């Protein structure tokens, strides 16, 4: 009888024993892998005026590692002051992996700051987003667009028309959100939170313009939550 003594064990195939002793949890292809994150942007992505570990790409990876996901350090293609065309030039000159597990795109504040036409932004942003999707192996569910922060609430904007800046930022974000929705990628609206810096200086870095590590953590938490849902 197979139900007596060790015969019960020996009569069960080895792979079923693995499931039994693992709590009947099947092993998937998503386990035992180092995941990759590519982040494309400007000063808000590289983390101007904060330590590298405190920018949102690195804080996102840190949160995901704490959650048990083995991520490599993020690849960051970003520089303070970049506009959409300057990011495009950097992408054209860089070398990339054949595919990334997750990709983020946050760009446009410098287009707005320099007073460039929003129609020009739309064209260049959509091209960048299409490339981001390609970098993610055409998996739109693994691409994340972040909205542009409102720098008009910062001390740097003192003496400027803050309402006009806010409207311009809103217009740019309406454009990138529409394009993100068109291509069915995730959209993370961080702009309302950045406006809290008007009354909370702890959300700003020491330069009085860029976000602090505390603010970047809030972005990272939103992004990490969405990435975890993809598993």
pLDDT at position 155 is 97
H or E element that contains 40: strand 37-41
**Total number of domains constituting the chain:** 2
Mean per-residue pLDDT over the chain, rounded = 89
| Whether residue 3 has pLDDT greater than 50 | no
| Whether residue 194 has pLDDT greater than 90 | yes
CATH code, 177:
3.40.50.1110
SS (H, E, C) 48-91: CCCCHHHCHHHHHHHHHHHCCCCECCCEEEECCCCCHHHHHHHH
What is the span of the domain harbouring residue 4? 1-32
pLDDT at position 31 is 52
Cα three-residue angle 142-148-150, rounded to 5 degrees: 150
| Whether residue 221 has pLDDT greater than 70 | yes
pLDDT digits (tens, 9 = 90+) for 6-48: 333 333 344 333 433 343 333 333 455 899 999 999 999 999 9
pLDDT at position 114 is 97
Q: Does 38 lie in the same domain as 28?
A: no
Per-residue pLDDT averaged across 123-132, rounded?
A: 98
Buried b (16+ CB within 10 A) or exposed e, 144-175: bbbbbbbbbbbeebeeeebeebbebbeebbeb
**Which letter does DSSP use for residue 103 in this model?**
E
Q: Does 123 lie in the same domain as 38?
A: yes
Q: Does 141 lie in the same domain as 52?
A: yes
Q: Does 45 lie in the same domain as 22?
A: no
Buried b (16+ CB within 10 A) or exposed e, 74-109: bbbbbeeebbbebbbeebeeeeeeeebbbbbbbbbb
Q: Does 207 lie in the same domain as 104?
A: yes
Q: Does 13 lie in the same domain as 71?
A: no
Question: Whats the size of the chain, residue-wise?
Answer: 231
Q: Does 169 lie in the same domain as 201?
A: yes
| Whether residue 172 has pLDDT greater than 90 | yes
- Cβ-contact 73, 61 below 8 angstroms: yes
pLDDT digits (tens, 9 = 90+) for 71-110: 999 999 999 999 999 999 999 999 999 999 999 999 999 9
């Amino acid at each position: 009888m197979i139900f007596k003594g060790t015969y019960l064990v020996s009569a069960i195939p080895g792979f079923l024993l693995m499931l039994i002793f693992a709590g009947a949890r099947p092993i998937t292809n998503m386990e035992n892998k180092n995941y990759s994150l590519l982040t494309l942007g400007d000063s808000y992505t590289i983390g101007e005026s904060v330590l590298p570990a405190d920018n949102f790409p690195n804080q996102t990876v840190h949160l995901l590692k704490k959650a048990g996901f083995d991520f490599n350090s993020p690849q960051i293609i970003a520089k303070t002051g970049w506009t959409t065309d300057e990011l495009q030039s950097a992408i054209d000159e860089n070398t990339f992996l054949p595919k990334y597990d997750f990709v983020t795109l946050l760009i446009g504040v410098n287009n707005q700051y320099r007073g460039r036409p929003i129609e020009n932004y739309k064209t260049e942003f959509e091209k960048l987003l299409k490339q981001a999707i390609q970098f993610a192996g055409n998996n739109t569910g693994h691409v994340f667009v972040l909205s542009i922060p409102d720098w008009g609430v910062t001390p740097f904007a003192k003496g400027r028309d803050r309402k006009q800046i806010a409207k311009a930022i809103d217009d740019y974000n309406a454009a990138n959100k529409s394009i993100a929705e068109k291509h069915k990628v995730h959209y993370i609206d961080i702009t309302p939170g950045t406006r809290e810096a008007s009354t909370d200086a702890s959300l700003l870095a020491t330069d009085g313009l860029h976000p602090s590590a505390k603010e970047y953590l809030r972005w990272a938490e939103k992004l990490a939550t969405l990435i975890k849902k993809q598993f």
